[in-house]
Homo-oligomer: A and B are copies of this chain.
Amino acid sequence: MASKTYTIRDLAREFDITTRTIRFYESEGLLAPRREGQTRIYSEKDRVNLKLVLRGKRLGLTLAESRELIEMYDPEHGNVAQLQRLLEKISERRVMLEQQLADIRLMQTELDAAEERCLNALQKARQKES
């Protein structure tokens, strides 16, 4: 089936990050490109993982946390105990996301208020000017 592959530069361009970052993620176990000689060849799965990591970053996750999320993807390599730990982590993550949702809503409200104060101040400033 010979699925699509990417060079390191392809991915760097697509996600607007440096190649250094991509190599660093590999060294941290977040990506596992195959090699062709020395050169790294990235699969679609690598690309998806990278996307996950970057999304995680936007939500404030550390790389270690993102790695956990990635490892959730194939829960095959797990005994019962491990799988239950995974389920726990999933539910922990959900709690965090709910917290973030609440935080976002609060912050949006505050931005609304801040904008109003700001527009008011602008009014006053312009009156003085005239």
Contact = CB atoms under 8 A, between A and B. Distances in A.
Interface in A20-77: 52, 55-60, 69, 72-76
Contacts of A17: none
Contacts of A83: 118, 121-122, 125
Nearest to A79: B125
B107 A75 contact: no
A80 interface: yes
A129 interface: yes
Nearest to A58: B103
Given A58-B103, A97-B104, 8 more contacts: A69-B107, A72-B117, A76-B121, A80-B122, A83-B121, A84-B122, A97-B107, A104-B104
Interface of A: 52, 55-60, 69, 72-76, 78-80, 83-84, 86-87, 90, 93-94, 97, 99-101, 103-104, 106-108, 110-111, 114-115, 117-119, 121-122, 125-126, 129
